Amino acid sequence: MPEQPVPRTGASGVIHDLGYRPYDGPRNGSGTIASALFLSGFRNAFGLGRSGKSKVLPFLLLALNLLPAVIIVGAMTLFNANELPLGYARYASATQILVSIFVAAQAPVLFSRDLRHGSIALYLARPLSSAAYAVARWAALLAATLVFLLVPIVALYVGAVLAELDFSEQTEEAAKAALLAVLLALMLTGISGLIASVSVRRGFAVVATIAVLLLGNGVVTAVQGISDEQGELRVGEVAGLFSPYSLYRGGTSALTDELFLTPPTGAVMTAAYFAVMVLVGIAGLAGIVLRYRRIAGR
Amino acid sequence: MNSTIIRLSTQALLGRRRGLVLALIPAVVIALAVVIRALTEPGTGYEIVDAIGFTLALPLVALLASSAVLGPEIDDGSIVYLIAKPVPRRSVVLSKYVVAWLATLALGALPLLLAGLVLDSSEPSQAVAWALGGAVAGTTYTALFLALAALTRHAVVIGLLFVLLWEGLLGGLLSGIRWLAIGAWGQEIAASVSDAVTAPGTGLLYAVLAATVLTVGSVWFAGDRLRSFTLRGDE
């Protein structure tokens, strides 16, 4: 078929109004999109709104994380103890393996899937900026990690209060543990989210996160143990600044009377521990935002 | 075994960032050993070979290596192009296993020898013991994780739960877990080489037999999973 030359009609073209009814309802801004994204992200982190198989792992981990708290409360009432055998703030240290696996496994759910399947392009085509997308995802993971950390603390607290331990003391200790949990969640979210947004392969991101969190903690703990043996406490204190869990332990021994190896001594060192905890969290968030800005710029 | 599959798997294993992280894990262990040795007396902090190198770095390397040779291909479905070729499925799995196994030996077990020698060069038998135990445990870990990768998409998380929760946390509390823990079998073999290593107490024969059975069984199982492979969508 010979090609027909397209007639150039110039300005004579019109857009016909076929009489369809346009949308004239309220239009929600990017704030609503971001909060919807946050909510779905938070639900997805626990497998809600996803397939049944995806719910198994987060709830299994949550149950395993809650189990020691239930046992502790049970043992406490059984033996009529007048204090909790395991302090609120020490709990997250004792279950750090479960916490690490939870963030390492669930961060890729929020950060890697959209990148791997290319659905990130659909999100960024909306009026939502890449930074808002990143912050919404980050906040979802932060909230999920916080829930994971706070559920056993709440269980211990309820058990302690019902067993009529000293109310004001228990409340104070639980509040301190909650504050420390927020700081720990900030660090874990920043680190795992950044790794998951850089690495698209799920398995790779999981192992890399575990390596950073647990191998880092192992190295720092070894250095702290040796410096304690050698009497060079300052070395151990400085080494403690380099791993989220050792920072958490340092913060715990600063706020409560829990004992850990080479706790930070002096106001400057203690302040440094808390400053580094907040800085790691902020750096993680900034890294995620920058990463998504680069993706959006492509 | 098939040399093309071995070459492709090696590329998948060492290419780009994955190879970097894989090399970074043993590098951290050796660097820690060097720092400790430089600042303290010989023999101080020898526990890190066990506590960090053997129980943490070695399984992580094995997990990363065995999931890297099989996981991504199953994840994105490109495994069908490989198993559509007239190569026996078992030899596909065996080729992939050999690559992951060599990587685990080189980056998981060999660093134990190096770290041990750095920390205390006067007693090389202990370092050799840990390296030998690490080689046996690494062989078994790699086979088990390869079977997991062929079985499920969540192989990495299940592998981590096995290593950290079952062997690590529960193994420390319930001593009976030594009968079902790869790390304990490796340590048993290390203990038979050097007296400086405490034996978990399963007996050498049981440790060797259990490691062999699990290795052969896992590789066979992975081949069997690939033989009856069904495509699944991402959830």
At B116 the pLDDT is: 92
pLDDT at A30 over 90: no
pLDDT at B19 over 90: no
Q: Tell me the average pLDDT of chain B.
A: 89
Report if residue B129 sits inside a domain: yes
Instruction: Please count the structural domains in chain B.
Output: 1
pLDDT, tens digit, for every residue of A108-146? 999 988 888 888 888 888 788 899 999 999 999 999 999
**Which residue in A53, A201, A222 is closest to B235 by CB distance?**
A53
pLDDT, tens digit, for every residue of A92-102? 999 999 999 99
Report if residue B234 sits inside a domain: no
State the Cα–Cα distance between residues A203 and B63, nearest whole angstrom: 9
Report if residue B149 sits inside a domain: yes
pLDDT, tens digit, for every residue of A231-280? 888 889 999 999 999 999 999 999 988 888 888 888 999 999 999 999 99
Q: Does A202 touch chain B (CB under 8 A)?
A: yes
Residues sharing a CB contact under 8 Å with residue A158, sequence separation 6 or more, in sequence order:
none
Question: How far B125 CA lies from chain A's nearest CA (Å)?
Answer: 23
State the Cα–Cα distance between residues B221 and B213, nearest whole angstrom: 12
Residues B68 and B156: beta-carbon distance below 8 Å = no
Report if residue B233 sits inside a domain: no
Mark yes or no for CB contact A101/B234 under 8 Å: no
pLDDT, tens digit, for every residue of A39-48? 999 999 999 9
State the Cα–Cα distance between residues A193 and A115, nearest whole angstrom: 13
Q: Which residue of A has its CA nearest to B57?
A: A215
At A1 the pLDDT is: 46
> Does the complex come out with an ipTM higher than 0.95?
no
At B163 the pLDDT is: 94
Residues A205 and A196: beta-carbon distance below 8 Å = yes
pLDDT at A200 over 90: no
Give the residue numbers spanning the domain of B142. 3-227
Report if residue B232 sits inside a domain: no
> Quick one: pLDDT band at residue A3, thresholds 50, 70, 90?
low
Q: What helix, strand, coil percent values describe chain B, rounded to 5?
A: 80, 0, 20
Q: Which residues of B touch A100 (CB under 8 A)?
A: 164
Q: Does A206 touch chain B (CB under 8 A)?
A: yes
Structure tokens belonging to residue A90: 């020490």
Mark yes or no for CB contact A210/B67 under 8 Å: no
Mark yes or no for CB contact A222/B156 under 8 Å: no
At A262 the pLDDT is: 87
Q: Which residue of B has its CA nearest to A199?
A: B17
pLDDT at B3 over 80: yes
Of B128 and B45, more confident: B128
